[in-house]
Amino acid sequence: MNIELTPLSMADIDADIELIIVVDKDTDHRFVKDKKLLKKAAFGAAQDEVCLLVSKKHIYVGADSLTGVDIRSAAANAVRALKGKKYKSLKVATYLNKGCTYTLRAMVEGIILGGYSFEKYKSKPTKQRLKHITISLDEYNKQPMDIDKAALQVHKAQIIADATNFTRDIVNTTPDDCYPAVMADIAKHLAEESGLKCKVLKPKEIKKEKMGALLAVARASRHTPRVIHLSHTPKNPKAVISLIGKGLTYDSGGLSLKPADYMVTMKSDKSGGSAVMGIMKAIAELDLPIEVHGFIGAVENMIGGDAYKPDDVLVAKNGKTIEVRNTDAEGRLVLADVLCYAQQEVKADYILDFATLTGACVVGVGHYTSGVMGNSEAMKKRVVQEALNAGELATALDFNRHLKKTLKSEIADICNISNTRYGGAITAGQFLSEFIDEDHADKWAHVDIAGPAFVEHTWAENPHGASGVGVRMTVKLLEKIAENSAH
């Protein structure tokens, strides 16, 4: 989409259709021009409720407030309602929350995210004809606007929303078209386009790095694993950050085979690794003055004569031995080795890992919320706050010593699953904590994105399928770090 910011009034802009956001059911607002028709259409202006008045060339959508989260969702739903229709251009006013230009950024994100669709595999895809968006600086409450600040927010919104859609595309791609070598190729192409550095470890290099847990998960697949390292390294960085993503391009469950219903959508098990690539794309294009490294463990977990088995004992990169009691708890094995490798390669001020790690997290907090864990209360709080600021739902899940005991193994240093069915998201996080060294213990946060990464219905600005969760929240966090840090 081409998005243009203009000081022209709404009346002076020529477009095929005008978007009007009705805030807090205020149908008496000066922007609302079709009160009688809206009443006849029983338009109540509830959050995300859409009313298209074809004869007037107006589309109305409700928003409960001027907060970014409500405006983003409203804009996305309005644009989604225009999909397949013949409108090529749209105009919309500016909406600010008490003068804060972040709401403008949220609206632009909503427009781009709402316009997304994944129809790669359809023989007759629905065309998105809407190509040109004009945003007037005519503000909802007649507040004055700084055009430079507004332009910056629009620029950032485009980069971040495009990176989110880039992530969605990777996650939505089928396992036969996106396996570890393909993920590595995507990373290489991204590096060439964005000025990032890219290093890819193949099986021989992975074996040399003693990543025994990751290699065990990968060995039954015809697709060999890759460990990907992308890096953004500006001069005199204000901080150093490592991002680690679980890139299970498909997860059958291994010999602890998933039931058929649970195996469908497992192309989404690469959501963590895909998010890391999306974040790196956004960071490079924003050219943030911080050093950021993205590490991805790209693996396929399959069955076969060479599959790793329950009762096996694996040796991770840091030398810890792991008793396998369930081969479907494979993501934590991959992350264990990649976390160790990331800490070996980079001494970071902050470490975040992203993974569709546990169904238990979905049971605990629902489809739409990420669970944030770690050893540091301050780190968890910071990640959750910036997620909420970016319009993503997240909540902290607390470690405790009693659950940690449930990972005890009688024959190895640790077991890959707990001996209780309860608290599975937390015990998975505590398993990962065993692979964080002392120097990074309080600098690390684990983000379980199993709930929001892939949902089979539309919600807010998210489509059916991949949401690209993790991109907006992490970019917001890294922007804040860049603003406040003095390395």
Q: With CA atoms as reference, report the closest residue to 22 among 80, 57, 70.
A: 70
For helices 377-389 and 471-484, give the axis angle rounded to 10 degrees. 110
| Count of positions (residues) in the chain | 487
Q: With CA atoms as reference, report the closest residue to 169 among 181, 159, 183.
A: 183
Query: Who contacts 66 (Cβ-Cβ below 8 Å, separation ≥6)?
Result: 23, 95, 96, 97, 98, 103, 140
Catalytic site positions: 258, 332
Decide if 311 contacts 196 (C-beta within 8 A).
Answer: no
- 53 three-state secondary structure: strand
Pairing state of beta strands 393-396 and 350-355?
Answer: unpaired
Give the number of other Cβ atoms within 10 Å of residue 401's Cβ: 7
Compute the distance between CA of residue 336 and CA of residue 414 in angstroms, rounded to an integer: 12
CA angle 295, 403, 362 (to 5 degrees): 60
- Fill in the DSSP letter of residue 485: -
Q: What do you get for the CA distance between the two ends of the chain, in Å?
A: 37
DSSP bridge pairs for 250: 300
Pairing state of beta strands 291-301 and 226-232?
Answer: antiparallel
- Fill in the DSSP letter of residue 256: S
Q: With CA atoms as reference, report the closest residue to 146 among 108, 72, 96.
A: 96
How many Å is the maximal CA-CA distance in the chain? 75
Q: Would residue 32 be called left, alpha or beta, if left means φ above 0 and alpha means ψ between -120 and 50 degrees?
A: beta
